[in-house]
Amino acid sequence: MMQELTSFGQLSISLPFLLSASENIWRFLGEMGDVMCLGMAAVGSAIGIGLAGQAAVGAWAREARAGQPMRFTYIILLGMPMSQTLYALIVMNQMRAVFTNTELAINEAGMLFGIGIATGLGEMLSAWMQGLIGAAGIRALSDSEGKGLAFIIIAMGIVETVGIFTMVFMLGMIPTA
């Protein structure tokens, strides 16, 4: 006989029903973190690429007006923020493996949610800041006739390292069976 916890007219809520709902809620929370990981990183990459892309288009317009050849090197700088989305995808795919073990996924739902949010934030901000540096770098290259590309790539690489560290550290926190 099922234990009835409460009754509201004809609505009865049983203990097994509540436990089942609780498991679904926890699993949902863990999977939400998994999806947020990639979504937030993609937002950061889009913003970073947009910022650098605006600077590149402005520099190309200026070079075209001056009768100069348009520099391909700007594409390198505007494409760099894309990698953070790939780092988040790697973390997300490793997190997906946890969901094949329902008990582990439910027990570690809070951890999975936290990993997803931390990864998403780390990658989003890394890509965003990389785009800001790229935009400034494109303006600097345009003003200096292309001088200083190596230094700009190094500066962007330092921000990239934050994204790599985020990926590596969060991968190490993913629970295993």
Domains of the chain as residue ranges with CATH: 36-173 (1.20.120.610)
pTM exceeds cut of 0.85: no
- Residue 145 has φ and ψ, to the nearest 5°, of 60, 40
Confidence band, pLDDT 50/70/90 cuts, at residue 18: very low
Q: How many Cβ atoms are within 10 Å of 75's Cβ, its own excluded?
A: 13
Confidence band, pLDDT 50/70/90 cuts, at residue 9: low
Confidence band, pLDDT 50/70/90 cuts, at residue 115: very high
Look at 105 and 4; give whichever has higher pLDDT: 105
Collect all residues with Cβ–Cβ distance below 8 Å to 117 and sequence separation of at least 6.
Answer: 33, 36, 37, 40
34, amino acid identity: D
Q: Taking each helix axis from N to C terminus, what angle separates 109-143 and 83-98, rounded to the nearest 10 degrees?
A: 170
